Amino acid sequence: MQGVLSMSEKLGWEAVSRRSALSFLGLAAASSLTILSSVLTTSDAAAYTYGMARRQTRRVARRAGRYTRRAVRRHY
């Protein structure tokens, strides 16, 4: 009978050593952390870029106002 296991047969997991099982778990954990960090980095990058652009716009506006005020003071 194929496809039916008797109680005396060994399963595939019993043939796997602890070292290889731990190695596999370590690789799975490392790859999941890599994937998770790349997903978080991608979503954070868009928000960071928006914040940078907003901050830069405010800096430029402040700088333009400062130059205008200084120019007005110089003419008096």
Q: What is the pLDDT along the chain (76 residues), one digit of tens a residue?
A: 456 655 555 555 556 677 888 888 888 888 887 777 666 666 556 666 788 888 989 999 999 999 888 888 887 6
In a domain, 67, yes or no: yes
pTM above 0.85, yes or no: no
**Amino acid (1-letter code) at residue 72:** V
In a domain, 46, yes or no: yes
Tokens of 42: 């991608």
Q: Which domain holds residue 59?
A: 14-74
Greatest Cα pair distance, the chain, in angstroms, is: 105
In a domain, 49, yes or no: yes
